[in-house]
Amino acid sequence: MEKIPVRHINTTSEKTDFLQHFSIRKIQDLLSGKDMIQDLHRHDFFHILVLQKGQGFHAIDFTNYEIKDFTVFFVRPGQAHQLEIKAESSGYMIRLNAGFYSSDDKTAYSFLRKTGMQNHYPLDENKFKTILSVLDSVFREFNDQHENYTEIIKANLSIFFVEMIREQNKNTIDKTNTYSQERLEEFLALLETHIFTHKQTAEYAQMLHLTPYQLNAVTKTLLDKTASELIVEAIILESKRYLLATTNQVNQIADYMGYDDVSYFIRFFKKHTGFSPETFRQNFR
């Protein structure tokens, strides 16, 4: 079965362990005066775009964003996205994978994971200047590689992630409900990896050491959706990714998604999108 193209951080055996897990580059250097156009694909790492000046579009899991000045994009591992950045754009492109943080860096990794729960951060100019100064330091350390440069990079990235979390919290009604927010993040992370084999609320509740009632209370409070509705959304999203990014037959995609009965999969998809899988592919590709 054809897979959605997955891009990896470019590594060579000569690179240090740290540099195999992290990179930062100036967008204007990558563009070299030309537009950047990338077809639908995935990454196995966190892909972050920080645009001081920007024109173009960015589609992340079928949500379209216009690229504008003072914008930050976070793409989580596994998300499908396509991108067009115009030649006059500038800023930073950051890539880091799961090996970037050690097992002792749980707090720092939690900042990254929480930041990545939101894909699009339009910022005001003052806020952007704050994060740009932090990333300028990261870029210098990455290139100079003086003593303990990795620690300075990690410290500055934590500042960057916390600033983004503060932006999230501007739109959060209940900022004190940390426990529920953490459980929601864990649930959504489980959906990304287990949706092919687990499709029941009770299964995810058990993984989280919650009752189905408790899991539904978390999702209803924070997203006004039941756990079951989020499971359905995850199934439809992954199906859409494969319909648009591959030439696989519908029966192959149904099997990949864990459905033995392709007719049931087609009815399920049409019920929740209004289109049969083939019609969706024809209309939106």
* Ranges of each domain in the chain: 6-169, 178-284
Task: Label residue 78 left, alpha or beta by phi (over 0 means left) and psi (-120 to 50 means alpha).
Answer: left
Taking only the tens place, the pLDDT of each residue in 191-234 is 989 999 999 999 999 999 999 999 999 999 888 899 999 999 99
Burial of 186 per CB tally in 10 Å (0-12, 13-18, 19+): middle
Strands ordered across the beta sheet of 63-67: 6-7, 36-43, 81-85, 56-60, 63-67
Mean pLDDT score of the chain, rounded to an integer?
A: 90
197 forms beta bridges with none
Taking only the tens place, the pLDDT of each residue in 1-47 is 777 778 887 644 445 677 788 999 999 999 999 999 999 998 889 99
**Of 221, 234, 154, 212, residue with least CA distance to 182:** 221
Q: Is the pTM above the cut of 0.85?
A: no
Is pLDDT at 171 greater than 80 in this prediction?
A: no
Distance CA 123, CA 28 (A): 20
Q: Is the Cα dihedral 140, 141, 142, 143 positive or negative?
A: positive
Residue 51 neighbours by CB under 8 Å, 6+ apart:
27, 67, 68, 69, 70, 71, 72, 73, 85, 89, 90, 91
Distance CA 135, CA 102 (A): 21
**The CATH number of the domain covering residues in 178-284:** 1.10.10.60
Q: What angle do CA 214, 217, 219 make, to 5 degrees?
A: 115
Token look-up 């749980």 returns 106
**Of 45, 40, 64, 77, residue with least CA distance to 188:** 77
Distance of CA 241 to the CA centre of its chain: 14
pLDDT score recorded for residue 260: 95
pLDDT score recorded for residue 13: 43
Task: Label residue 42 left, alpha or beta by phi (over 0 means left) and psi (-120 to 50 means alpha).
Answer: beta
Using DSSP bridges, classify how beta strands 6-7 and 36-43 pair: parallel, antiparallel or unpaired: parallel
pLDDT score recorded for residue 210: 97
Residue pair 97/18 in contact (Cβ under 8 Å)? The answer is no
Crossing angle between the packed helical segments 262-273 and 277-284, to the nearest 10 degrees: 50
pLDDT score recorded for residue 177: 66
Is pLDDT at 71 greater than 50 in this prediction?
A: yes
- On whether the 6-169 domain is CATH 3.40.50.300, my answer is no
